[in-house]
Amino acid sequence: MSLFIYLFRNFAVTCFIHHTMSRPYNPHITPMIVATALIAITTWLVACTTSHEPSADDFVAALKQSADLVTTEVKVRKIAYYDSGSSDHITLTDPTTWRIGERRCIVPVDIWMRYGYDLRHIELSAVRIDQERKTVEVRLPHIKLIDSGYDPDINPDEVVSIATGLRDAVGHETIERIRRETYEETIKQDISTDIEADIQNNAQWVISGIARSLGFEGAEIVEY
The DSSP secondary structure of 131-189, one letter per residue, reads TTTTEEEE-----EEEEEEE-S---GGG-EEEE-TTPPPP-HHHHHHHHHHHHHHHHTS
The low-confidence residues of the chain, meaning pLDDT below 50, are 1-10, 13-14, 16-30, 50, 95-96, 98, 100
Q: How many folded domains does the chain comprise?
A: 1
Give the model confidence (pLDDT) of 50-87 as tens digits. 456 888 999 999 999 888 898 999 999 998 877 765 65
Half-sphere exposure of 107 (CA within 13 A, CB side): 30
What pLDDT is stored for residue 6 in this prediction?
Answer: 43
Domain range holding 123? 2-221
pTM, to two decimals: 0.67
